[in-house]
Amino acid sequence: MSDPSASSSSSPQWSSDRFFQTQAPPPNLSELASAASEFVQRHIQEGRKVVLVTSGGTTVPLEKNVVRFLDNFSAGTRGATSAEYFLSAGYAVIFMSRQHSLAPYTRHYSHTTNPFLDLLADPATHVHTDSPASASGEDNITVLKQHVAHLRPILSAYHHARTSGLLHTVPFVTVNDYLWLLREMSRVMQPLGRYGMYYLAAAVSDFFIPSTSVPEHKIQSGKGSLVIEMDQVPKVLKPMVEQWVPEGYLVSFKLETDPKLLIPKAVGALQRYGHQLVIGNDLNRRKFEVVFVERKAHNPVHSSEQEAGPKRPAKDISVDDQQFTATWMRLVDSDSSQESNSIEGGGKGGEKELEEDIIRELCRRHDQWIAKSTSAASSR
Ligand code: 9Z3
């Protein structure tokens, strides 16, 4: 882009070591790490499980003084919704999300889907009569009656999350910041061992521009077309599994737009990185269906302890002598194709959310993961 000689096109594959040795960390990395560490230590002392939820899209700035950047579609709905269900399940949550993307609880009143001001009565026409101090209506603003039932439980849960110390937020913007923070949060959570879960729902750019190739100032027009060359983002899941949090329960998401690729790519990720579970989702159907792809040995739905639970038919896949399973989970009433291997959730229409079922299944798997280490330790 700026200086072709500085471009890394000769070595487009970046190891994570090379990335962290050459790309600058976010300036507030150590403060973010110590605040998160305090949070984790408190929950370790209280014997609570902690989950890292990543959420929202990452940007790739085209200039150091950023005027333009590449972005992606993610609003952070999956991550914000999932964080709520993890909190309900008793987890402490580190919510690492794209700055200004959707957040737990406030997501219900995002400016696009449910504008906050639309909930409120017009003060000019709505006069309070119940309290003498506000008889004129000047001291109070009223939520319209029809919104109260919906708002009340969300507001309670929101205040509980704020005051209970169970939710810790960490913002990122660029893909570089995301990678640095993922490593740092993993380091901070490493002492949790098997009590840590990692739920990587952020939509992370596959490509970045190394800092030596990013121009200082706004790219000028006038030279005709703009050609952008980007390098592949290092595959940090591998060191995450092998070094950063080898005992953690690690769930990644695989996003595709061609449904045929979903399961093969998810299996490929499991083979390459060796983590516990890939949740596959198709861009256009992600709110209604996902597929859990996991190694058969890691899949508690096949173990005897789970047989009392609801029936969860899974499709077996054999690749290079390794056994995987793919289990669909979908909301009923969605206009899904008739798949035979599916977990049925509730209906759509704003009530039931797919994340409720996803998180219930993950909590179950995580408990099994913890139990496995406990039984291994006691049999030593
Ligand atoms: C996902 O697949 C998430 O489910 C979505 C959620 C980003 C689709 P929204 O924020 O969307 O609710 O609008 N996240 C992971 C996407 C990703 O970057 N995956 C990488 C890949 O597919 C691997 S980690 O290669």
Quick: pLDDT tens for 81-104. Answer: 999 999 999 999 999 999 999 999
Distance (Å, whole) CA 249 – CA 273 = 13
Q: Is 325 left (phi over 0), alpha (psi -120 to 50) or beta?
A: beta
Report which of residues 16 and 377 the model is more confident about.
16
Q: Is the CB of 98 under 6 A from ligand 1?
A: no
Distance CA 41, CA 265 (A): 36
CA of 304 to the centre of ligand 1 (A): 32
Q: Is the CB of 182 under 6 A from ligand 1?
A: no
The pLDDT, as a whole number, for residue 349 is 37
Ligand 1 atom closest to 78 (CA): 12
What is the interface pTM, i.e. ipTM, of the complex? 0.96
Average pLDDT, the chain: 88
What are the tokens at 372? 């496995």
Question: From ligand 1's centre to the CA of 202, what distance in Å?
Answer: 5
Residue 367 structure tokens: 């408990």
Over residues 130-134, the mean pLDDT reads 53
How many angstroms separate the CA atoms of 178 and 162, rounded?
24
pLDDT, position 56: 98
With a 6 Å cutoff on the Cβ, whether 74 touches ligand 1 is yes
Split at pLDDT 50, 70, 90, the class of 313 is: low
201 lines ligand 1 (CB under 6 A): yes
CA-to-CA dists, residue 373 to 194, 207, 276, 357, 366, angstroms: 8, 37, 14, 25, 11
The domain ranges of the chain are: 1-112+157-234, 250-380
> Rounded to the nearest 5°, which phi and psi values hold at 104?
-50, 140
Residue whose CB lies within 8 A of the most ligand 1 atoms, among 55, 172, 255, 285, for a mutation test: 255
Is residue 281 lining ligand 1, measured as CB closer than 6 Å?
yes
> What φ, ψ does residue 290 adopt, rounded to 5°?
-140, 165
Q: Is the CB of 76 under 6 A from ligand 1?
A: yes
- Ligand 1 close to Cβ of residue 57 (< 6 A): no
Mutate to test the pocket of ligand 1, among 253, 270, 275 (most ligand atoms within 8 A of CB): 253
Distance, in Å, from the CA atom of 276 to the CA atom of 366, rounded to the nearest integer, reads 10
Global confidence as pTM? 0.89
> Measured in angstroms, how far is the CA atom of residue 281 from the centroid of ligand 1?
8
Cα(95)–Cα(92) distance, rounded to whole angstroms? 10
Ligand 1: nearest atom to the Cα of 279: 2
Question: Closest Cα to atom 21, ligand 1: which residue?
Answer: 254
Q: Choose the weakest-confidence range: 28-37, 105-114, 349-358.
A: 349-358
**Residue 255 Cβ contacting ligand 1 at under 6 Å:** yes
Ligand 1: nearest atom to the Cα of 283 = 8
Contact 108, 154 (CB under 8 A): yes
Q: List the structure tokens of 85.
A: 């269900």
Instruction: With a cut of 70, say whether residue 263 has pLDDT above it.
Output: yes
- What pLDDT does 299 receive? 55
280 lines ligand 1 (CB under 6 A): no
Q: How far is the CA of 199 from the centre of ligand 1 (A)?
A: 11
Q: Is 286 in the pocket of ligand 1 (CB under 6 A)?
A: yes
Instruction: Return the CATH fold of 1-112+157-234.
Output: Rossmann fold (3.40.50)
Q: How confident is the model at residue 129 (pLDDT cuts 50, 70, 90)?
A: low
* Distance in angstroms (rounded) separating the CA atoms of residues 54 and 181: 10
Please say if the pLDDT value at position 7 is more than 90: no
> Left (φ > 0), alpha (ψ -120 to 50) or beta: where does 11 sit?
beta
Would you place residue 321 in the very low, low, confident or very high pLDDT band (cuts 50, 70, 90)? confident
Radius of gyration over alpha carbons of the chain, in Å?
A: 23
Task: Give the residue from 169, 203, 253, 155 showing the smallest Cα distance to 57.
Answer: 203
Cα separation, 231 vs 7, in Å, equals 9
Contact 194, 249 (CB under 8 A): yes
Q: What is the pLDDT of residue 256?
A: 97
CA of 67 to the centre of ligand 1 (A): 25
Is residue 300 predicted with pLDDT exceeding 70? no
